[in-house]
Amino acid sequence: MKTETDIVSRVLSGETRAIARLMSKVEGRPDDSADMMAAIYAKTGRAHVIGLTGVPGSGKSTLVHVIAKELRRQGKSVGIVAIDPSSPYSGGAILGDRVRMSDLSTDEGVFIRSLATRGALGGLARAALDTADILDAAGFDVILIETVGVGQDEVDIAESAETVLVVSAPGLGDDVQAIKAGVLEIADIHVVSKCDKDESSRTVADLKSMLKLGSAVRDRFGWDVPVLRTSAETHLGISELVETLEKHRLHLAESGEHSVRKKKILSKRIIKTAEDMLRQRLGQGEELDAAVSEVMSGQTSPRRAAETLLRDL
């Protein structure tokens, strides 16, 4: 117990080793770290949490890198959560030698955590959001969560951020990628990356006309979802993007959208966590076998058996 309090206070003071240690614990043994995470959660809410999503190869990791660099220039500390084992965050070169992740990984004001798409006990979304909470409590100003826009879990993660950025890129096929990935509507900001490429104008035009067609699914309290052009190669649009992120943050606070959105995010997160816990508990007892036999032999229905299981928990 004493060591737990110790770890938490070291995390809160931003100690790198304690942060990494708690993250590993939380990832692999969520039940054992519930007390620590309660203490951590109580200290969250200061950071700006930004989710980035988009189809594979759209330039998310590269964008995370240049955004992080820009934020560092402004003196802000940055936490990065990458749900993507292939992300070259551990020191590889992204755009040849021009954009290097390694200069971030040696920066004390940056903390990078990669989560494997498999292996996180109790679900990837749970692990990702807990990881972001740790970074928030540890005092990082901005947290960037990169997730590939495929699969409900990944989309859920992006949607749990305060500001959702959807990345599209030229040269990845004709159709509007955000639609294919099921993330067109969740964007607060659309980014078309790789705008050093000629075909990018078309990607921008397609995206814009698609946005005009679609009715606003979510009330954004008067926020107009912009389509921004960026290039990590020429640095086009990067400072505008970072400005827009900050503008969106202000908009959330001033319009009252922040608390409305937070409520939605939390209710989803609580239900999801309860589901995960329930599934784990129901799946491991002998009671399930007994219930299956009863239904098989015609003694009861699946619905009644489920009711009994829940009652007896």
Ligand X SMILES: Nc1nc2c(ncn2[C@@H]2O[C@H](COP(=O)(O)OP(=O)(O)OP(=O)(O)O)[C@@H](O)[C@H]2O)c(=O)[nH]1
Q: What residues line the site for ligand X (CB under 6 A)? A: 54, 56-62, 84, 86-87, 94-95, 148, 193-194, 196-197, 231-233
Identity of the residue, 49 or 55, whose beta carbon is nearer to Mg ion in the bound complex: 55
> What does the alpha-carbon distance between residue 95 and residue 92 come to, in Å, rounded to a whole number?
10
Identity of the residue, 86 or 293, whose beta carbon is nearer to ligand X in the bound complex: 86
Map tokens 């009252």 to a residue.
256
Measured from the CB of residue 58, what is the shortest distance to Mg ion in angstroms? 9
Measured from the CB of residue 78, what is the shortest distance to ligand X in angstroms? 16
What are residue 50's DSSP bridge partners? 144, 163
Q: DSSP 3-state helix, strand, coil percentages of the chain (rounded to 5)?
A: 50, 15, 35
Measured from the CB of residue 94, what is the shortest distance to Mg ion in angstroms? 9
Q: Which of 33, 61, 168, 230 binds Mg ion (CB under 5 A)?
A: 61
147 touches Mg ion by CB under 5 A? no
Q: How far apart are the first and last CA of the chain?
A: 28
131 touches Mg ion by CB under 5 A? no
Say if residues 63 and 167 touch (Cβ distance below 8 Å). yes
243: enclosing H helix or E strand: helix 238-255
> What does the alpha-carbon distance between residue 40 and residue 170 come to, in Å, rounded to a whole number?
41
Beta strand ranges found along 187-308 (DSSP E): 189-192, 227-229
Identity of the residue, 131 or 193, whose beta carbon is nearer to ligand X in the bound complex: 193
Measured from the CB of residue 232, what is the shortest distance to ligand X in angstroms? 4
Measured from the CB of residue 173, what is the shortest distance to ligand X in angstroms? 14
- The tokens for 221 are 């309290």
Can you state the angle between helices 302-312 and 286-296, rounded to 10 degrees? 160
Binding at 170: pick from ligand X, Mg ion, none (beta carbon under 5-8 Å per type): none
Identity of the residue, 11 or 101, whose beta carbon is nearer to ligand X in the bound complex: 101
53 touches Mg ion by CB under 5 A? no
Instruction: Compose the 85-124 pattern: x for residues touching Mg ion by CB under 5 A, - for all others.
Output: --x-------------------------------------
Binding at 58: pick from Mg ion, ligand X, none (beta carbon under 5-8 Å per type): ligand X
Binding at 122: pick from ligand X, Mg ion, none (beta carbon under 5-8 Å per type): none
What type of residue sits at position 155? Answer: V
What residue number has its CB nearest to Mg ion? 61
Can you state the angle between helices 2-12 and 16-28, rounded to 10 degrees? 120
Binding at 226: pick from Mg ion, ligand X, none (beta carbon under 5-8 Å per type): none
What are residue 203's DSSP bridge partners? none
Q: Coil, helix or strand for 251?
A: helix
**Contacting Mg ion within 66-85 (CB under 5 A):** 84
Map tokens 């964007």 to a residue.
187
Identity of the residue, 95 or 121, whose beta carbon is nearer to ligand X in the bound complex: 95
> What does the alpha-carbon distance between residue 66 and residue 100 come to, in Å, rounded to a whole number?
10
Binding at 95: pick from Mg ion, ligand X, none (beta carbon under 5-8 Å per type): ligand X
Please report, as ranges, the residues that interact with Mg ion according to CB under 5 A.
Answer: 60-61, 84, 87
